[in-house]
Chains A and B, each alone.
Chain A
Amino acid sequence: MIYADDGSLSQEQRLMRDSCRAFVDDAVTPFIRSNWQREWDMSPGERLPRSILEGAETIGVRTLGVPEAHGGVDLEHDTEVRTFALISEEIARGDSGLADKLVQNWKVSILLREFAPKHLQDKWFPRLLADPQFLLAHCLTEPRGASDRWLPYNVPEAAMHTKAVLKDGHWVINGRKQFISNGFDASLYVVYANTDTSVGMLQGTSSFLVPRDTPGLTVTKCNETMGCRFMNNGELVFEDCRVPADHLLVQNTALGSAGKYFRAGKIIQAAKNLGVGVACFERTADYVQNYVQGGRILIKHQAVALRLADMATRIEAVRSLIERASRAVDEGHPDMDALCNMAKVYASEEIMKVATHALELHGGNGAMLEFGIEKLFRDAAIFLHMDATVDVSRMKIIKTMFPATAGKYAGPEN
């Protein structure tokens, strides 16, 4: 119980899960538990010590998605999303911010692998592999519009404000991106920008590869968030930022082409969220079996036991849905779009309840920064709107379930 069922996993998946768990138990959890103040270091560059990413390197988890030819690892394609889910859950069980740092790398590596010309892959994959601190970021969200853009209004007026224009063999990018995971730390970005103002977002958005040191790109700030604080969320400004023409990854249909990744992204999001829930359960189960109140350990008080049962039940339900949804994506099942959004939104709400129980079952200790339970609570809260809000996710479910009616008003995703 509580953990992924061995029976449904391949041998490789089990071994990967074990390596990730060992790394988290040996390095991540002890760091988080004994350095709780570090989270509140307002110098974001110093917050997570370099040794943690170096440690992540020893299990090879930063470079998933990099093709084997470039020194990365090719997962089994027919179970790739399930494997991503398993790994991200395990890392997030230690720290969801660290998990997000790594996940962004997988996401951008896949885009690079799928869409970048060979000479750019030859240039960037070796750099990514050589430096454990090398991070990637995916820049979609803007100050005026994020997941709400997906809803609906596939009309020119809802297009991205960031624009790219081809001029003298270079794409010139102007605009602003915010709430970008890894945005503050990344060395290489994939940036989405409008390249055709006459059509809707789905037909007029292109994606570009932008190295951090490109003139015209400024990382303006690190957003201080309530949870997931070991991932430095950043804000970027593009002012006549010029990249060579070959840095275009996908022209005009970038959002549709990235769909392949967006589904896996939803599952990973749900799985990270689940990892936070598992950590809540482990900590709480341990606490209520050791902490004595009124002469007996807490779990022997029935009211406590009932809450713990509720935590376990919600975790199992979330896990079941994630497993079904990840299988659907791996198998290309027609319901996959609805299922991956269901998994994402369901996980965010259920694990929030799990985290609430954890907080309450710890009594006063639950509120103490030093105890680390409130961190799990804050980390859980982030998932309610990270990578689409609860309401937007629900809209997308209905849109895919009823394409002829709700879908028509909202427009297809690809």
Chain B
Amino acid sequence: MSVLVLAEHNGLVLDDATARAVTAAILVDPDVHVLVAGRDCGAVAARAAMLAGVAKVLIADDGDLADQLCEPLAGLIAGLGERYDAFVAPATTSGKSVMPRVAALLDVMQISDVIAVEAPDRFRRPIYAGNIIQTVRSRDSKKVLTIRTSAFSPAPSEHAKPIEPVNFQRGPHLSSFVAKVMARSDRPELTSARIVVSGGRGLGSAENFEAVLAPLADALGAALGASRAAVDAGFVSNDLQVGQTGKIVAPDLYIACGISGAIQHLAGMKDSKVIVAINKDPEAPIFQVADYGLVADLFEAVPEIRAAMPAG
């Protein structure tokens, strides 16, 4: 049998998280199908059909699916339950919302936030904010997984595979979409950026975030991140929060400025390839995970780094 991957998209563009979920899905079973559910999302389906390893794309086109509401979406996926052994979605906020609902409809346990597939029924996942790694074997006949995107590289592109429509039965309207507010940014998305520049309470104000940190992020083509302390202090909006209760990131380079390194924050970034910490407190715990530590006042050091960068 096969694996069904739930595509993450906004109706127009396929999210990179889907390509990562495909990589995980192939490890469960090489026959991978992708489900694109929405309204008028042919372009998304076409893009999904090009992901290497995908055998087929299913497209469910219906107004009730336009807003990716969990109730109809879960009903659609569970309705395909007979045809698949496993269901995989990226552990994004939409994946996390819909997949447990699917699992319950199929009466199976979901395995959340998978970071490695050891066997088609055996998975590794973090618990206790990443302080313990658990390996579990599912006794259920069907597997429902959400995968941590930073743990899987995106499947590359190749020639397109077939796209098939799939029938969608409307159910009762339990919920309705009201509004969506997306934080606008010209910078790369936090969870997929190659470089992340993050600030903590040490920044002192929202103005300093913009005046001190943002120029460095822009010079590096990096995403901006923040510690929970900085978010709680109101320096930046909460969608920038890196940590156990925020975003989990694993970029090639993570630059932590004025972040002390609370356990909660480390859980969100310690899988980064190279970590740089800039803090004036030499005892800050962040230095224990940093590959490169600079004990300095960030207000001096950050502009200096910016200046030391090659022009352009």
A interface residues, Cβ below 8 angstroms from B: 290-291
Chain A residues closer than 8 Å to B285, beta-carbon distance: 290
B157 at the interface (CB under 8 A from A): no
Residue B82 CB within 8 A of the other chain? no
B288 within 8 A of A: yes
- Smallest CB gap from B282: residue in A: A291
Of chain A, the residue at the smallest CB distance from B288 is A290
- Nearest residue (CB) in A for B284 is A290
Interface residues on B, range: under 10
Q: How far is the CA of A67 from the CA of B285 in the complex (A)?
A: 47
The proximity string for B residues 279-291 relative to A, scoring 1 for CB distances below 8 Å and 0 otherwise, is 0000101001000
- Can you list 4 A-B contacts (CB < 8 A)? A290-B283, A290-B285, A290-B288, A291-B283
- For A290, the chain B residues whose CB sits under 8 A away are 283, 285, 288
Report chain A residues within 8 Å CB of B288.
290
Residues of B near A291 (CB, < 8 A) are: 283
Cβ contacts under 8 Å, B283 to chain A: 290-291
Output the least CB separation between B129 and chain A (Å).
Answer: 18
**A-facing residues in B220-234 (Cβ within 8 Å):** none
Q: A242 vs B304: C-alpha distance in the bound complex, in angstroms?
A: 70
Q: With the chains together, A291 CA to B285 CA distance in Å? A: 10
A290 CA / B283 CA spacing, docked (Å): 8
Cα A291 to Cα B288 with chains together (Å) = 10
Question: B residues 262-312 with Cβ under 8 Å of A?
Answer: 283, 285, 288
- Closest CB in chain B relative to A51 CB, distance in Å: 16
A365 to B221 Cα, complex, angstroms: 40
CA distance A291 to B287 in the complex (A): 11
The 4 residue pairs across chains A and B that have the minimum distance between CB atoms? A290-B283, A291-B283, A290-B285, A290-B288
A290–B285 Cα distance when bound, in Å, is 8
Kindly state the separation between the CA atoms of A290 and B260 in the bound complex, as whole angstroms: 13
In the bound complex, how far is the Cα of B284 from the Cα of A291, in angstroms? Answer: 10
CB-nearest residue of chain A to B285: A290
Nearest B residue (CB) for A371: B283
B262 to chain A, nearest CB (A): 12
Distance, CA A290 to CA B287, complexed state (A): 11
CA distance A290 to B263 in the complex (A): 14
The distance in angstroms between the C-alpha atoms of A290 and B261, with both chains bound, is: 13
A291 → chain B closest CB, angstroms: 7
A156 to B285, CA, bound (A): 63
A390 to chain B, nearest CB (A): 36
* B140 to A: closest C-beta gap in Å: 38
Please report the C-alpha to C-alpha distance between residue A105 and residue B288 in the assembled complex, in whole angstroms: 45
State how many angstroms separate the Cβ of A157 from the closest Cβ of chain B: 58
Distance of A342 Cα from B285 Cα, bound (Å): 41
In the bound complex, CA of A291 to CA of B282 (Å):
10
**Least CB distance, A263 to chain B, in whole angstroms:** 43
B44 to chain A, nearest CB (A): 45
Chain A nearest CB, measured from B282 CB (Å):
10
A291 to B281, CA, bound (A): 12
Expressed in whole angstroms, the Cα–Cα distance for A55 and B285 within the complex equals 29
Instruction: Give chain B interface residues in 34-80, CB to chain A under 8 Å.
Output: none
Give a binary string over B128-142; 1 marks a CB under 8 Å from any A CB, 0 the rest.
000000000000000
* B289 to A: closest C-beta gap in Å: 12
Closest CB of chain B to A349's CB: distance in Å? 31
Q: Which residue of chain B has the shortest Cβ distance to A291 in the bound complex?
A: B283
Q: How far is the CB of B162 from chain A (nearest CB, A)?
A: 57
**C-alpha spacing A321/B285, complex, angstroms:** 37
